[in-house]
Structure 1
Amino acid sequence: MAVRLAGRRVDVSRADLLTATLVVNLELALAVAYFAVTNARLTSPLFTLYGLVWVNAALLVLARYSPPGGTASERRRAGVVAVGYLALLATFGGVVGPPTPTTPTGLGVALLPPGWGPALTYGGTVVAAVLMPAKVLGYAALAYLLYGTVVEASGAGVAGLLGIFSCVSCALPILATVVASTLGGGGALLAAAAGVGYGPSTLVFLVTVALLWWRPGFDAIAAWRS
């Protein structure tokens, strides 16, 4: 079965649908088991769903997205940009940051709902970290997609590189993802425990994934350059 999204062909086979069904069922079973064997509380089913959405979208990107080949210099340039982008997301998204009064001291594990937890935490005198699976995987997926975008833009020449910043479908979601996350390391743990603000951030994340993957309008930039 083939569908078109943002002008791009997407092939979905029966095997893909079967795999997706099995993964979702396995996740639901693991979620039930997680709540049964830990003291994690199901404060909000919707918040738990958000976490699983982040994880599944990220796994889909990491498993199915194939960035353009590009030359060695293009790949190196794209790698530097992607690493810098990942660092920005980690900082503004609350994965790492300065310690706050709510930051746990030393190493620990926060038993947040599935997807967001279990989260490895660290609180030091200079830096704090909250490694929630959803955010770690989600931000890695976004950086991977941006890597492919930069490689493709490099192949399109100067017009393509400028297109990353001039095309709304490329620039706006990148900026929105950073602006949407404003909590530090300890604050992110507190917000996650309460499920505050993760509905809008999940929407921004999914929109960013879609636009960086399919990049509507980006082909027109490359065509204009050629």
Structure 2
Amino acid sequence: MRYRTSTLVGPARRLPVELRWLLALVAFETAALVGYFGFTDATVTSPRYVLYPFVWINVGVVAVLRTTPPDATRRARVVAATLSTLYFLLLAALAGLVSLELGAHTHAHVHGLQVTMAAPGWGPRVGYAGSLVTVNFVPYRVLGYLALSYLVYVTLLDAAVAVLSGVLGVVTCVGCSLPIAGSLAAGAVGGTGVVALATLSVDISTIVFVGAVALLTVRPRFRGPAKLRP
């Protein structure tokens, strides 16, 4: 895994690309929040839930910008891309973003496309319910899981370059398994019907997400110094 570095322009050093993106994101997110709460009847009841989506988005974007894949064979890239795609679908399924509708339904089921406005990051939420597949697009979740999947892709390539059982390395990777465990825990809590604990599932999943991104980002450093792209 390699880490991008900033370039020199004249006598001064330019801001790192991830910092420039972060500043632009924060400015856009601030404007979106002001616009949403200024032009709608929505009110802020829990500030942390308004900010959590931006934690997911910003942490994910910075981690992706800081990380580039190592050189690898085409076969390794295809295998890594396939496995990371399956990883994304697994996370999406555990989070309820994608589900299969199997068997007969005795309850009313709304079919078609639905768009729901919500606070920036939480929305706009786009949902599609078909006879077999239901898909829900929640911006911060989708962007966060895409970032995690990219980091898993790089981790797989890094393990393949290291030769020794890349698959075993990813299976035992704490950062890779944290989001899966977190999604399962959040689902179990939400299914208990205890409102107070179910509310904390968002807090828990955010902590798990940040921890997973951190582990997947710094993991290759434990095997030696990172190489910098010239």
What TM-score, normalized to structure 1?
Answer: 0.75
1:84 is matched with which residue? 86
Is this contact kept in 2: 1:94–1:182, CA < 8 A?
Answer: no
1:126 is matched with which residue? 132
* Unaligned 5+ runs, structure 2: 7-12, 225-230
| Counterparts in 2 of 1:68 and 1:40: CA distance versus 1, 3 Å | farther
* Pair member with larger Rg: 2
- CA distance in 2 between counterparts of 1:103 and 1:56 reads 35
| Counterparts in 2 of 1:162 and 1:80: CA distance versus 1, 3 Å | same
Q: Residue by residue, what CA displacement relative to the aligned partner does 1:36-87 show, whole Å, maximum 9, x if unpaired?
A: 3345443421111101111112222343321212111110110111011011
Is this contact kept in 2: 1:54–1:134, CA < 8 A?
Answer: yes
1:25 is matched with which residue? 27
**Which of 215, 218, 223 is the equivalent residue of 1:214?**
218
- CA distance in 2 between counterparts of 1:195 and 1:113 reads 17
| Counterparts in 2 of 1:36 and 1:122: CA distance versus 1, 3 Å | farther
- 1:72-221 correspondence to structure 2 within 5 Å: 72-98=74-100, 105-167=111-173, 169-173=174-178, 175-182=180-187, 197-215=201-219, 219=223
Number of matched pairs: 204
Q: Residue by residue, what CA displacement relative to the aligned partner does 1:8-28 show, whole Å, maximum 9, x if unpaired?
A: 989687624455334313311
- 1:29-68 correspondence to structure 2 within 5 Å: 29-68=31-70
AA aligned opposite 2:137: L
Deviating more after overlay: 21-30 vs 108-117: 21-30
- CA distance in 2 between counterparts of 1:206 and 1:213 reads 11
- CA distance in 2 between counterparts of 1:152 and 1:178 reads 26
AA aligned opposite 1:146: V
RMSD over aligned CA atoms reads 3.2
What TM-score, normalized to structure 2?
Answer: 0.74
* Unaligned 5+ runs, structure 1: 1-7, 221-226
- CA distance in 1 between counterparts of 2:124 and 2:186 reads 20
Deviating more after overlay: 65-74 vs 41-50: 41-50
| Aligned residues with identical type, % of pairs | 36
